[in-house]
């Protein structure tokens, strides 16, 4: 496993449409492991392959730290409801914005064995599913932000004060 370099907004790779995965090779499995490690190290809840420079339709998500989900060639089947809340992206560091998303999302995809799976989520998981699948189309959440991007307040800790 290895931590990969996270591409940031302005990098053309983040604006490209990703290709379908036809088979899961050893290299694909290594990529998936690396994506999890990179996401956890950056304290993210989701990461899409283009964010590490790979134009393949692969997403990893873990909204609780205990529920890793791999989605290969994911497709949104169903959405309902609405939620409006804060969203950020590891490719847009130091920023967040308010985005409205469906409150429920159902996705069809393949797992690492290329077996068909379905994943349903509400609230944060629904938001993560929409956000990560949009990355595969070359879309960033910044296009959907209401009221402009905001700066994350700098982390304050007494240890770092004089
Ligand atoms: Ni993102």
Beta bridge partners of 98: 86, 146
Q: The domain 12-151 belongs to what CATH superfamily?
A: Peptide deformylase (3.90.45.10)
Q: From residue 113, give the alpha-carbon distance in Å to each of 20, 23, 40, 57, 134.
A: 15, 9, 23, 15, 23
Residue 11: phi and psi, rounded to 5, are: -80, 125
Give 30-94 as a 3 state SS string: HHHHHHHHHHHHCCCCEEEHHHHCCCECEEEECCCCCCCEEEEEEEEEEEECCEEEEECCCCCCC
Q: Is the pLDDT of residue 157 over 60?
A: no
What is the CB neighbour count within 10 angstroms for residue 16? Answer: 13
Q: Is 123 a catalytic residue?
A: no
| Residue 21 or residue 154, greater confidence | 21
pLDDT grade, residue 67 (50/70/90)?
Answer: very high
Q: Please give all residues whose CB falls under 5 A of ion ligand 1, grouped by chain where several chains appear.
A: 89
Set 132, 146, 159, 161: catalytic member? 132
Separation of CA 111 and ligand 1 centre (Å): 21
- Structure pTM? 0.94
What does the domain layout of the chain look like in residue ranges? 12-151
pLDDT at 135: 98
Residue 66, number of CB atoms within 10 A of its CB? 6
Tell me how far apart the alpha carbons of residues 59 and 135 are, in angstroms, rounded to a whole number. Answer: 9
Q: pLDDT (tens digit, 9 = 90+) per residue, 115-134?
A: 999 999 999 999 999 999 99
Distance 151 CA to ligand 1 centre (A): 16
């Amino acid at each position: 496993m290895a931590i990969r370099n996270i591409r940031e907004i302005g990098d053309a790779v983040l604006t490209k449409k990703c290709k379908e995965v036809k088979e899961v090779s050893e290299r694909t499995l290594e990529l998936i492991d690396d994506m999890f490690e990179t996401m956890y190290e950056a304290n993210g809840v989701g990461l899409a392959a283009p964010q590490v420079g790979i134009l393949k339709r692969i997403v990893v998500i873990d909204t609780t730290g205990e529920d890793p989900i791999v989605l290969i060639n994911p497709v949104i089947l169903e959405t309902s409801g609405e939620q409006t809340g804060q969203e950020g992206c590891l490719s847009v560091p130091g920023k967040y914005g308010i985005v409205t998303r469906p409150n429920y999302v159902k996705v069809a995809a393949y797992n690492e064995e290329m077996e068909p799976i379905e994943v349903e989520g509400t609230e944060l998981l629904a938001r993560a599913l929409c956000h990560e699948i949009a990355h595969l189309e070359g879309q960033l959440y910044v296009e959907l932000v209401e009221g402009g991007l905001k700066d994350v307040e700098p982390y304050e800790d007494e240890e770092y004060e004089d």
